[in-house]
């Protein structure tokens, strides 16, 4: 068989090959989505009730003139997006290199490194958006949203998801043991969640810790999400927040593209 005949016999890739990678993950998710119902719907409800109602009952005056329940919703939504993005970008990426070798199979398909990376990031974005939407619906039903502008928290969650997922892809592709992934949660994700303004204003922190909180992508998403759910202006400029998160996306993409290229291109 001639080379031209072999090319004709080979199944054609879609116009955007990354969509084929996204379809691969969506097919798998179609079989496992039921397991995520708890984390997508019931867990947000329990979190809001536990922190917003339980802890909020001990805060008489609320925060900034609003109830603690309404105040905390924006931060919890951003934190949920962060947790989903990190969860989908650590062990899944590591296993695709080290254990089940999915990336190498996709590279032999053949798919370009950018297609493999872009398709998987698109799936992470899908997971972040579905989880954030479920959280927004649950909190809306609980009466914790104070403004119709709350829907703008969804694109903020999507941008945050990419801002943390892209560099995490690079990290998971570079490490040689999953112990490093546990360290990422212990020394980066948990401190970021605790001190980036999700549960209390960062202004109550010492100056050094406050600037560390400002340096995290989570704080910028928290400020935007809280402004959207409360219907107020954010503490910093909207453009500044968005540009900072976009810089994390671009920088993370470049790092991940380089790390994936080193592993997949022989």
More confident residue, 12 or 242: 242
pLDDT in tens, 48-79: 777 766 666 666 566 767 888 888 899 999 99
**Nearest to 40, CA basis, from 137, 171, 161:** 137
Query: The whole model's pTM is what?
Result: 0.89
Radius of gyration of the chain (CA): 20
Which residues have a Cβ under 8 Å from the Cβ of 192 and sit 6 or more positions away?
Answer: 82, 216, 218
Reply yes or no on whether the pLDDT at 9 is more than 60. Answer: no
Reply yes or no on whether the pLDDT at 4 is more than 80. Answer: no
Which residues have a Cβ under 8 Å from the Cβ of 225 and sit 6 or more positions away?
Answer: 74, 75, 77, 78, 153, 156, 157
Distance CA 190, CA 260 (A): 26
């Amino acid at each position: 068989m001639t080379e031209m005949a072999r090319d004709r016999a080979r199944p054609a890739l879609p116009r955007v090959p990354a969509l084929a990678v996204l379809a691969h993950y969506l097919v798998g998710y179609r079989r496992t989505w039921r397991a995520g119902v708890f984390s997508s719907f019931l867990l947000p409800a329990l979190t809001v009730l536990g922190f917003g109602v339980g802890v909020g009952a001990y805060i008489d005056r609320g925060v900034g003139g609003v109830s603690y329940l309404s105040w905390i919703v924006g931060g919890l939504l951003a934190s949920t997006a962060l947790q989903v993005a990190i969860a989908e970008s650590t062990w899944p990426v590591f296993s695709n290199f080290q254990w089940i070798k999915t990336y190498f199979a996709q590279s032999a398909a053949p798919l370009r490194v950018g297609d493999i990376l872009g398709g998987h990031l698109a799936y992470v974005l899908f997971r972040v958006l579905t989880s954030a939407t479920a959280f927004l619906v649950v909190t809306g039903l609980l009466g914790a949203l104070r403004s119709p502008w709350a829907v703008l928290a969804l694109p903020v969650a999507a941008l945050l998801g990419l801002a943390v997922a892209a560099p995490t892809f690079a990290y998971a592709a570079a490490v040689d043991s999953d112990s490093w992934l546990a360290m990422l949660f212990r020394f980066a994700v948990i401190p970021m969640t605790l001190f980036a303004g999700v549960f209390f204003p960062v202004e109550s922190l010492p100056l050094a810790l406050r600037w560390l909180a400002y340096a995290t992508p989570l704080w910028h998403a928290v400020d935007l999400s809280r402004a959207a759910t409360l219907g107020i202006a954010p503490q910093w400029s909207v453009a500044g927040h968005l540009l900072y998160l976009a810089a994390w996306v671009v920088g993370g993409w470049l790092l991940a593209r380089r790390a994936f290229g080193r592993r997949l291109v022989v």
